[in-house]
Structure 1
């Protein structure tokens, strides 16, 4: 298996060196950049599997950098920031980051999150299809094993790991009222500490990608004051 490459964008040299050393000892190839310009130069010269991005850069707004990158790539993005408020975490999810960790952090936790995001974003052509993990609803086919969503016409929308996990959890609990707290706990990228708004933002993004943007089809129903309910009839693959 080839080594995964991680780009660390952090203006604090001590923090950057710590992350690079820890991930390097864990078997990752790392490259560091101290600002947005250096990050762009690194991305032009090489490809990376994961980006660790600080928000407070001397020449750029980290959130805007993440938003721009998410629009053009499915590379894993983990925000590493001193901003610990739930509102900031929600913003990170809103622009499409796969995870958000606050400083100061425990290096072992960072490593676990890095591995988790890479596991979710890496393609694996050798995955075995488990028919119990292939479900169909409203013209969609959801393959949980291969983390793939396919429409009736064969197209596959690009879902972030958090969006896929949310949809998979909803499809596993059809016709059940699910609170925002339950949904937050079911999606590792959100985390219960991120608050209800993070769930609503993620749900809005998911609805848009599956054609239920305004909730008009009632595939995902909003139960005001309580949470959400997945109303589509679920069929399991007989393959």
Structure 2
């Protein structure tokens, strides 16, 4: 690999930054590593990078929010890296312009192969691949994971907080399954996890009220409380 190829690792775990940097430097890359989005932006302002390895689950600003702020037409290629490997996060990340998505813990050689594949694709095109937009639909409602929008059956935009939107995504990604509060917390870490843990029931109540439109179902039925267990999303969900 040409030593002019520069990589930037963005991960809040110092051990991962150190080990990944050492491995990639050993394979001929020039590598810098930073712990958060603000230091990433400072690095991008100073130097030109060919590819960024961006962790999804970081305290404060998460990887998806950071990705959303990047210029995907002129900026470096991006490989998202997540300990959860949640399907909805992969969909959102790829539709927002990420070039690849790899679940943690990743085999270093697989990461190396993914990096090389993304760089090869980038050498043949100056812009990211155009991907078809996928919406999540249930009972006449439509969710745009990229724009982070919820539209009711009358195409009226429903205003959701970040916590409510992440909660909704978690529920509709696992329809007709009882989800415990711990599961919802683990899969809704776009917000402060500790703060969200204290407010899960409040968030569910608020989301129910916003889903309680005149759609023939009602929010209470869409999100059902299962006593002593958690919550269940009752509608079928389609991706199209």
TM-score w.r.t. structure 2 length? Answer: 0.52
Take 1:108 and 1:63, find their aligned partners in 2: how far apart are those partners? 24
Take 2:110 and 2:19, find their aligned partners in 1: how far apart are those partners? 14
Take 2:37 and 2:48, find their aligned partners in 1: how far apart are those partners? 16
1:188-238 deviations in Å (ceiling 9; x for gaps): xxxxxxxxxxx6539xxxxxxxxxxxxxxxxxxxxxxxxx9xxxxxxxxxx
Alignment of 1:12 onto 2:9: no
1:84 shift after superposition: 1.3
Q: Which residue of 2 aligns with 1:47?
A: 48
TM-score w.r.t. structure 1 length? Answer: 0.52
Q: Which residue of 1 aligns with 2:78?
A: 77
- The DSSP-based 3-state class of the residue aligned with 1:70 is coil
Q: Which residue of 1 aligns with 2:128?
A: 160
Report 1:103-114 matches (<5 A): 103-114=104-115
Q: Which residue of 1 aligns with 2:165?
A: none
Take 1:116 and 1:70, find their aligned partners in 2: how far apart are those partners? 21
Q: Which residue of 2 aligns with 1:56?
A: 57
1:74 shift after superposition: 3.8
Take 2:3 and 2:17, find their aligned partners in 1: how far apart are those partners? 23
Structure 1 runs (4+) deviating above 3 angstroms are: 199-202
- The DSSP-based 3-state class of the residue aligned with 1:18 is helix
Report 1:16-27 matches (<5 A): 16-27=17-28
Take 2:134 and 2:24, find their aligned partners in 1: how far apart are those partners? 31
Contact 1:36 1:57 in 2 (8 A): no
Q: Which residue of 1 aligns with 2:96?
A: 95
1:143-178 deviations in Å (ceiling 9; x for gaps): xxx54xxxxxxxxxx6414x3xx7xxxxxxxxxxxx
Take 1:57 and 1:72, find their aligned partners in 2: how far apart are those partners? 25
Quick one: structure 1 residues 72 and 97, their matched pair in 2 at CA, closer, same or farther if it must change by over 3 Å? Answer: same
Contact 1:66 1:95 in 2 (8 A): yes
Contact 1:70 1:96 in 2 (8 A): no
Contact 2:8 2:33 in 1 (8 A): yes
Take 1:201 and 1:47, find their aligned partners in 2: how far apart are those partners? 32
1:72 shift after superposition: 5.6
Can you give the 5+ residue segments of structure 1 that lack an aligned partner in the other structure? 123-145, 148-157, 167-198, 203-227, 229-239
1:4 shift after superposition: 0.5
Q: Which one has a bigger Cα radius of gyration?
A: 2
Take 2:114 and 2:100, find their aligned partners in 1: how far apart are those partners? 8
- The DSSP-based 3-state class of the residue aligned with 2:71 is helix
Contact 1:8 1:53 in 2 (8 A): yes
1:24 shift after superposition: 0.4
1:59 shift after superposition: 2.8
Can you give the 5+ residue segments of structure 2 that lack an aligned partner in the other structure? 136-239
